[in-house]
Amino acid sequence: MGHDHGHDCCGGDAPARVEQALGRLRASGLRVTEARRALLRALAASRVPLAVDEIHRRSGRGKADRVTIYRSLEAFEQAGIVRRHPLEKGRSLYALETPGHHHHHLVCRACGAIERLEACDAGPIEAGARAKGYTRLTHVLEVHGLCPRCSHG
């Protein structure tokens, strides 16, 4: 997806990230199946967040149908193993969560290119939520636009 795969957006040491994710899966009491391993491997090997169809394709179509993959992703998201990145129009992309690491994405709505935005200005917003007595805060923020190539195309 996208034309710019030059940036390491969400990547890293894939085998280590799979092991880390499997450990967190077990710690959360979730079942480790071969299909779930394949799903985590597909996510860990990708440098950008992936759509469900792409995860399905990359994790081997025979291992699980899309509904199963979607349900696993939902369970992983709730357990904090996978981060969901909502797109415009209700679609979502998924990436492995890296503990202690936090970033957002810039998504081209024409070609689907994704790159990392290092800055996160959600601190004051979360502080406001904390002041209202909320705990275990998370936030969702993706920035959409036209990439330089699509802007001039």
Site residues (vs Zn ion, CB under 5 A): 108, 110-111, 113, 120, 122, 147, 150
Q: What residue type is assigned to position 91 of the chain?
A: R
Nearest distance from C-beta of residue 106 to Zn ion, angstroms:
10
User: What one-character DSSP code corresponds to residue 106?
Assistant: E
Decide whether 18 or 93 has the Cβ nearer to Zn ion: 93
Cα–Cα distances (Å) from 144 to 8, 38, 67, 73, 151, in that order, read 19, 30, 27, 23, 13
| Contact present, 112 and 98 (Cβ < 8 Å) | no
Q: CB of residue 126 vs Zn ion: minimum separation in angstroms?
A: 9
CB-nearer residue toward Zn ion: 45 or 122: 122
On the 0-12 / 13-18 / 19+ scale of CB atoms within 10 A, 30 is: middle
* Min CB(116)–Zn ion separation in Å: 12
Closest to Zn ion by CB, 31 or 152? 152
CB of 55 to Zn ion, least distance (A): 22
Q: How far apart are CA 14 and CA 47, in angstroms?
A: 10
Q: Residue 127 CB, nearest distance to Zn ion (Å)?
A: 13
* 36 vs 105, beta carbon nearer Zn ion: 105
Beta bridge partners of 20: none
For Zn ion, the closer CB: 16 or 110 = 110
Encoded tokens for 56:
């399905």
Beta bridge pairs of residue 147: none
